[in-house]
Structure formats: C-alpha cells, structure tokens
Amino acid sequence: MSQAAVPASTSIPTPVRIPLREIVPWAVLIGALAMITLFFVSAEDSAVALLSANGYVHEFLHDGRHLLAFPCH
C-alpha cells in the first residue's frame, strides 16, 4: 500500500532541436497572414468592393474595427 506511483529513477527528457531553416518558412507565412489580417481590419474601407457588390466585406469588418478602436468614419 505504500508503493510510489512513479519510479524513483526518472530521467529528464532532452529537448528536440528544430533547425532554423525549418522555422523560417512558417514564420514568413504567419507574418504575411498577420499583415493581411491587419490590413483588412484596420485599413480596408471597401477597397476590395469587387469581392462583394453589396459591401459585405466592409460590414463584416466594421464592428471589429470599432472593437479594436480603429476609426472608420
């Protein structure tokens, strides 16, 4: 009844090294997606009206602009 649940001799796991050349493409992709998202939320004022003739892109992002304190009027 007094047996330990974890063995006394546990080894410390060694971290896995990830080469920088494998991280850079993902970092560039995430950075580009972040910049596109920032553009649409902050600066897009129906500039891409060709995507929706009714202004749905602007209306969809309108409340997000106000929530993040970006002026749009």
Give pLDDT tens digits for 26-64.
Answer: 999 999 999 988 877 777 665 565 555 666 766 777 777
23 pLDDT exceeds 90? yes
Q: What are 27's two structure tokens? A: 């970092």
Q: Residue 48: its pLDDT value, please?
A: 60
Q: Residue 33: its pLDDT value, please?
A: 96
User: How far is residue 31's CA from residue 24's CA, in Å, rounded to a whole number?
Assistant: 10
Residue with tokens 């009714």: 54
Q: Residue 67: its pLDDT value, please?
A: 79
Task: For the full predicted model, state whether its pTM sits above 0.85.
Answer: no
Give which of 50, 73, 26, 29 is closest to 37, Cα–Cα: 29
User: How far is residue 66's CA from residue 24's CA, in Å, rounded to a whole number?
Assistant: 34
